[in-house]
Chain A
Amino acid sequence: MFDLKKYRKKSPWILHYNAGSCNGCDIEILAALSPKYDLERFGVINTGNPKQSDIFLVTGPVTYRSRERLVELYTQMPSPKVVVAVGSCTCTGGVFREMYNVEDGIDRYIPVDVYIPGCAVTPELIIDGVVQALDILENKTKELEDAKKLYKKPTEKEGVLNLRDSALKVGEDEED
Chain B
Amino acid sequence: MSKKTVNIPLGSQHISLLEPIRFKFTCENEKIIGIDSDVGFVHRGVEKACASKFKFDAIGYVVARICGLCAITHSLSYTMAVESMLEGEVSKRAQYLRVLMVELDRLHSHMLCLSHVSENAGFEAMFMRIMGDREPVMDLQEALSGNRVQFDYVSIGGVNRDIESDVAVKVKETLKELRLKVEDYISEFENNWSLSLRYKGIGALSQEDAYRFNTIGPLARATGIKTDVRAESSMLPYGDIGFEMVTKDGGDIYARNMVRLYEMLNSISMCENIIDAMPEGEIFTKLKGKPSGEIVTRLEAPRGELMYYVKGSGKPILDRVRIKTPTFSSIPAFMHIFEGQEYADAPAILASFDPCMSCTAK
B222 within 8 A of A: no
Within 8 A of B (CB), among A31-83: 31, 34-36, 46-49, 60-61, 63-66, 69, 73
A28 close to B148 (CB less than 8 A): yes
CB distance from B51 to the nearest CB of A (A): 12
B174 to chain A, nearest CB (A): 14
Interface size on A, residues (CB 8 A): 41
Cβ-neighbour of B43 out of A63, A94, A98 (below 8 A):
A63
Q: How far is the CA of A107 from the CA of B20 in the complex (A)?
A: 20
B15: A residues at CB distance < 8 A: 46-49
Return B22 CB to nearest CB of chain A, in Å.
10
B293 within 8 A of A: no
In the assembled complex, the CB of A119 is this many whole angstroms from the nearest CB of chain B, namely: 5
Given that A31-B131, A34-B131 are contacting pairs, would A73 and B44 also be in contact in the complex, using a CB cutoff of 8 Å?
no
Verify A17–B13 contact, CB threshold 8 A: yes
Of B20, B53, B71, the contact of A98 (CB 8 Å cutoff): B53
Residues of B within 8 A of A48 (CB): 13-16
Q: Quick check: B67 and A69 within 8 Å, CB to CB?
A: no
Q: With the chains together, A107 CA to B1 CA distance in Å?
A: 49
Query: Are the C-beta atoms of A120 and B44 separated by less than 8 Å?
Result: no
Q: Is A18 an interface residue (CB 8 A)?
A: yes
Interface size class of B (residues with CB under 8 A): 35 or more
Q: Is A24 an interface residue (CB 8 A)?
A: yes
Q: Which residues of B contact A100 (CB under 8 A)?
A: 45, 48-49
State whether A101 and B44 are in contact (beta carbons under 8 Å apart), knowing that A23-B358, A46-B15 are contacts in the complex. yes
Would you give the shortest CB distance from B327 to chain A, in whole angstroms?
11
Task: Give the shortest distance, in Å, between B227 (CB) and chain A (any CB).
Answer: 25
* A21 close to B (CB within 8 Å): yes
In the complex, what residue of chain B is closest to A21 when comparing beta carbons? B358
For window 94-123 of A, CB contacts with B under 8 Å fall at 94-96, 98-102, 119-120, 122
Instruction: Determine whether the beta carbon of A34 is less than 8 Å from that of B12.
Output: no
B304 CB → nearest A CB, Å: 16
Taken together as a complex, chains A and B put the C-alpha atoms of A36 and B132 apart, in Å, by 6
A19 CA / B150 CA spacing, docked (Å)? 18
Asked if residues A120 and B42 are in contact (CB atoms below 8 Å), the reply is no
Is B13 within 8 A of A65, CB to CB?
no
Kindly list chain A residues whose C-beta atoms are within 8 Å of the C-beta of B41.
20, 63, 65-66, 69
Interface 0/1 of A115-149, CB less than 8 Å to B: 00001101000000000000000000000000000
> Is B197 part of the contact surface with A, judged by Cβ < 8 Å?
no
What residues on B are CB-neighbors of A64 within 8 Å?
Answer: 43
Q: Which residues of A contact B236 (CB under 8 A)?
A: none
User: Does B62 reach chain A (CB closer than 8 Å)?
Assistant: yes
Residue A27 at the B interface, CB < 8 A?
Answer: yes
Q: A18–B20 contact, CB under 8 A? A: yes
**Contact residues in B for A96 (Cβ distance below 8 Å):** 44, 46, 49, 65
Whether A35 lies near B131 (C-beta < 8 A) is yes
Chain B residues whose CB sits within 8 angstroms of the CB of A122 once the complex forms: 148
A63 & B44 in contact (Cβ 8 Å cutoff): yes
- Nearest chain A CB to B69 CB, angstrom units: 5
In the complex, the chain A residue whose C-beta lies closest to that of B148 is A122
Question: What is the bound-complex CA distance between A132 and B102, given in angstroms?
Answer: 36
Report the Cα distance A34→B133, complex, angstroms.
10
Is the C-beta of A25 less than 8 angstroms from some C-beta in chain B? yes
User: B138 contacts the other chain (Cβ, under 8 Å)?
Assistant: yes
A168 to chain B: which residues have CB within 8 Å?
none
Across the interface, name the chain A residue whose C-beta is closest to B62.
A95
- Nearest B residue to A61 by beta-carbon distance? B44
B135 interface contact, C-beta 8 A: yes
Inter-chain contact B13/A23, CB cutoff 8 Å: no
User: A167 interface residue, CB < 8 Å from B?
Assistant: no
For residues 25 through 74 of chain B, which have their beta carbon under 8 Å from a beta carbon of chain A? 40-46, 48-49, 53, 61-62, 65-69, 71
Could you tell me if A99 and B49 are in contact, using CB atoms closer than 8 angstroms? yes
The contact of A63 among B18, B42, B129, B138, by CB within 8 Å, is B42
Query: What A residues does B127 contact at CB under 8 A?
Result: 34
Give chain B interface residues in 4-22, CB to chain A under 8 Å.
12-16, 18-20
A-B contact pairs, 29 of them (CB 8 A): A18-B18, A18-B19, A18-B20, A18-B42, A19-B20, A20-B358, A22-B65, A22-B150, A22-B358, A23-B19, A24-B65, A24-B69, A24-B71, A25-B149, A27-B112, A27-B149, A30-B18, A31-B134, A36-B132, A63-B41, A95-B61, A96-B46, A96-B49, A96-B65, A99-B44, A100-B48, A101-B43, A101-B45, A120-B147
5 more CB-based (< 8 A) A-B contacts, given A48-B15, A66-B41, A95-B61:
A17-B13, A21-B42, A30-B18, A69-B12, A98-B53
State the 8 A-B residue pairs at the shortest beta-carbon distance, nearest first: A24-B68, A48-B15, A34-B131, A35-B132, A23-B68, A120-B149, A24-B149, A36-B135
Chain A interface residues toward B at CB < 8 A: 17-28, 30-31, 34-36, 46-49, 60-61, 63-66, 69, 73, 89, 94-96, 98-102, 119-120, 122
